[in-house]
Amino acid sequence: MAKPSEKLSRGTPRAAVASGTAQGRAPGRGSIMWDTLTDMAHLPLMPPIAIMQSALPAVGTAVNKYGIYKSDPQARGRRTNWSMIRFLYDGGDFARQEAQDLRALHANIKGTLDDGRKYFALNPKTFRIVPDTFLDGVIRIRRDMGQPLTAAEEATLYEEYVQLCLLLGIQKKDIEPTLQDFYEYYENLIMSEMTYNDTVKYLTTRAIELPARFKYLKVAQPYADSFYKRFFYPTMKLSVIGQLHPLYRERFNLPWSERDQARYRKLCKRLQLYARMVPRPLRYNPVALLVMLGVHGPGLVTLEELGRIEEKKKAHEARKKLAASG
């Protein structure tokens, strides 16, 4: 299968690993990764990055066990956004501290898969899935937004990816020397190890069907639900399925027609128009602006907090069932 860039060559770029420092660095302001992932014009195309991460069995199982993506998806989304911006940012010690916090949290995430195999979140193949999907996602977002990367930009992006891997504690021996080598590894991962598990199924169906829930002004919820289902859900479904890696979509036979592809191209053209009409400073992810102002934001959730959240949710659901039966 053709790779995202038709200009990619086998020699792109072997110097990326050789030039990396032992501890790595954040991509930072002005980098391709930062400029792509902090641009609100690209936001509708970004959820599949997290979905592709969850397709790895170890990640999907751990998210299903420890995550709050069902019981409190808005809080999960906020924390994920803050964490992403912090480890992409090159100011102060934001990125390095976030990398340390992420490793500390994931050091306690381990268990057994459905097939009996053990998993551990800090296994290199598992932990590097985040920068892996960022790299692939950035390349395909740029392509679909009508700004495909040149060979030189691919070399620069791969250097950013390698440095991010090193920052997150991935060793050089676990990183492919070229972008071409990376795609051989990544596409094999899709075809041989990724699954369409319960987490992915939820994220590609029920999760995008649910509007935000109001904690206050609950009287407005029915109107918000109707508005969401008419205007947002169709677009979310289109962008989520359309931005999944094509090999993954084909392997698991996810519904995608020529009409869907045409509608997806129209969506991308609308996003391109938005990007042309709105100056870049006004398209900044608000969290990125806050981080650049020195605001650290909410920290990572702990396993203890996750347990309390889930117990609270279970108690609430039990009360609702009791009230309904009474």
Q: For residue range 209-240, what is the model confidence (pLDDT) as tens digits?
A: 766 666 667 777 787 778 777 777 888 889 99
65-85 residue pLDDT tens: 766 556 566 667 788 899 999
* pLDDT number for residue 215: 65
Quote the number of domains for the chain.
1
* pLDDT number for residue 299: 84
| Nearest C-alpha neighbor of 58 from the set 104, 101, 111 | 111
158 burial (CB, 10 Å; 0-12 / 13-18 / 19+) is buried
Share of the chain above pLDDT 70, in %: 84
How many angstroms separate the Cα of 206 from the Cα of each of 26, 63, 70, 109? Answer: 34, 16, 9, 25
Look at residue 206 and tell me if it is in a domain: no
37-51 residue pLDDT tens: 999 999 999 999 999
Alpha carbon distance 56, 190 (integer Å): 8
Computed from CA positions of residues 147, 84, 127, 205, in that sequence, does the dihedral angle turn out positive or negative?
negative
Look at residue 52 and tell me if it is in a domain: yes
| CA angle, residues 269, 273, 277, in degrees to nearest 5 | 170
Look at residue 179 and tell me if it is in a domain: yes
Question: How many residues belong to the chain?
Answer: 326
Whether the pTM exceeds 0.75: the reply is: yes
Q: Is the distance from CB of 121 to CB of 62 less than 8 angstroms?
A: yes
pLDDT band at 118 (very low <50, low <70, confident <90, very high): very high
Look at residue 142 and tell me if it is in a domain: yes
Domain residue limits at 174: 17-201+281-325
Look at residue 153 and tell me if it is in a domain: yes
Look at residue 43 and tell me if it is in a domain: yes
Look at residue 116 and tell me if it is in a domain: yes
pLDDT higher for 299 or 4? 299
Look at residue 176 and tell me if it is in a domain: yes
